[in-house]
Amino acid sequence: MPGRDPSGDAPLLGLLLAAGASGGYWLGDVWPGIALALAVYVGICARRVRALARWLEGNPRGVEPPALRGPLGVMGSRMKLIQRRLLEDIADGEAQVARFRESFSALRDGIVILDAARAIEWCNPAAKRLLGLRFPEDRGQQVANLLRYPGFEAFLDEGDREREFEFTIPDARALTLQLQAADFGEASTVLFVRDLSAMKRLETIRQDFVGNISHELRTPLTVIAGYVDTLADLLDDSPLINKVLGQMRQQAVRMENLLKDLLLLSQLENDDEPDHEAEESIAACAMLESIRENALTACVGERTITLACDPALRFRASRIEAESIFSNLLFNAVKYSSSGGHIAVGFGVEGDALVFSVRDDGIGIDPVHIPRLTERFYRVEKSRSAERGGTGLGLAIVKHALIRLGGDLQVESRPGVGSTFRCRFPLERLEPGVSVRSAAVG
Ligand code: ADP
């Protein structure tokens, strides 16, 4: 192609110069003729540049560049090549985005993409359905103006992206949704929306079932236990019958304890929020003292239980929940230590928390079991727990009671050395105006 040849202008320039020089020669001076020839050549080049500029200005998708000779022709064809590659790359990118959007659109979980200013850039159909968003109408709208749920804005602003935000949509559907946020790119955020309603419904059914069945079983069990006692009074001559009735009574007590714990756990699990109405000012030392007495009475063999607690300490909690926490941990320390063991109980302010701790020098727990101890019916040694009257629900009750009181549980233990259980409550639970000494047991 002559127009694409960089040296394609040499014949033209040669011709112009020859014509200019010979014209000048005939007129008496070659130089004006050569100058005129060069001016004509510059004019031709200027026309080509204009043609190229017009082609570029006209957004020439698919239109060939003007067929030009010389270096401008080469530039034109190069530009065309670069343009074609760019267009191919853009088409590839658009196809990829379309595919991603198509796959996101097929998801049952919602996805909302927010820009740096927390305005909606894109959302999939599931997000529209679950959150009631309209798209593309809501594009560019501040998400916090559209999703006005208490705590949502704070959730978006905080840096902790491990946290999930759960809320209920206050309409007839009463959906329970869970949001997770992840930051990406410069300052964009993607929100993942999961519908937990079905799971929550099942959980409620399970909790109600356990609560109802425990409640229903308690009455017949009390009747049976009563008859066992009556029979024992009537037939107390035969050692065999006494042994059988003794075992029946023991099993009835175990079952009663199990039902009591199941009922309490199902009540605590029903709601993680504190029950402010049931809360009262509790004299912690007096409560711990009475639990200590009970534990010493119930234990097989000897134990020393020391109690470090300021008698003036009062804290706000539901009595049932506080008692459950204290007695489960104290009874466990007794259950899982041997005769002659020493147990140290403390309750007091430690730094920014109110801490209740129980340390024993009992059998200890292998670290692999510690993360699972608060699961229902999780026991390190099933036989030992059952033998000592354990229901396997004590630490699950402690965990849920602590959640409702805004506290948490820490466990340190070494097999053969002993265990320390520490419950940390927020300082706000301390009754105002009471100065207390620290009473940590380490
Ligand atoms: P259980 O009624 O069986 O005691 P818990 O939920 O109270 O149930 O405790 C779960 C398990 O944790 C127990 O079965 C026992 O294996 C272990 N455990 C709890 N407290 C202690 C402790 N102080 N020392 C050693 N093991 C413990």
Cα-to-centroid distance, 379 and ligand 1 (Å):
6
Q: Is 329 in the pocket of ligand 1 (CB under 6 A)?
A: no
Please report the domains of the chain, with CATH numbers, ordered by start residue. 6-101 (no CATH), 107-195 (3.30.450.20), 200-269 (1.10.287.130), 276-429 (3.30.565.10)
Q: Does residue 214 line the site of ligand 1, with CB under 6 A?
A: no
The answer, yes or no, to whether any atom of ligand 1 lies below 6 A from the CB of 341, is no
- Note the pLDDT tens digit of each residue in 82-130: 888 988 999 999 999 888 888 888 889 999 999 999 999 999 999 999 9
Q: Is 391 in the pocket of ligand 1 (CB under 6 A)?
A: yes
Q: Three-class SS string for the chain?
A: CHHHCCCCCHHHHHHHHHHHHHHHHHHCCHHHHHHHHHHHHHHHHHHHHHHHHHHHHCCCCCCCCCCCCHHHHHHHHHHHHHHHHHHHHHHHHHHHHHHHHHHHHHCCCEEEEECCCCEEEEECHHHHHHHCCCCCCCCCCEHHHHCCCCCHHHHHHCCCCCCCEEEECCCCCCCEEEEEEEEECCCEEEEEEEECHHHHHHHHHHHHHHHHHHHHHHHHHHHHHHHHHHHHHHCCCCHHHHHHHHHHHHHHHHHHHHHHHHHHHHHHHCCCCCCHHHEEEEEHHHHHHHHHHHHHHHCCCCEEEEEEECCCCEEEEEHHHHHHHHHHHHHHHHHCCCCCEEEEEEEEEECCEEEEEEEECCCCCCHHHHHHCCCCCCCCCHHHHHHCCCCCCHHHHHHHHHHHCCCEEEEEEECCCEEEEEEEEEHHHECCCCCCCCCCCC
Question: Ligand 1: distance of its center to the CA of 332 in Å?
Answer: 6
Counting atoms of ligand 1 from 1, which one is nearest the CA of 378? Answer: 10
Residue nearest to atom 16 of ligand 1 (CA): 380
With a cut of 50, list the residues of the chain below it in pLDDT: 1-4
Distance 342 CA to ligand 1 centre (A): 17
Query: Is the Cβ atom of 143 under 6 angstroms away from ligand 1?
Result: no
Instruction: For a ligand 1 pocket test, name from 328, 382, 384, 385 the mutation site with the most ligand atoms within 8 angstroms of its C-beta.
Output: 385
Residue nearest to atom 3 of ligand 1 (CA): 392
Residue nearest to atom 14 of ligand 1 (CA): 379
> Which protein residue has the closest C-alpha to ligand 1 atom 11?
379
Residue 20 has a pLDDT of 92
Q: What is the pLDDT of residue 57?
A: 81
How far, in Å, from the CA of 321 to the mean position of ligand 1?
Answer: 18
Ligand 1 center–CA 361 separation, angstroms: 14
Cβ of 328 closer than 6 Å to ligand 1, yes or no, is: yes
* pLDDT, tens digit, 9 for 90 and up, residues 222-252: 999 999 888 888 877 788 888 888 888 888 8
Ligand 1 centroid–CA 263 distance in Å is 19
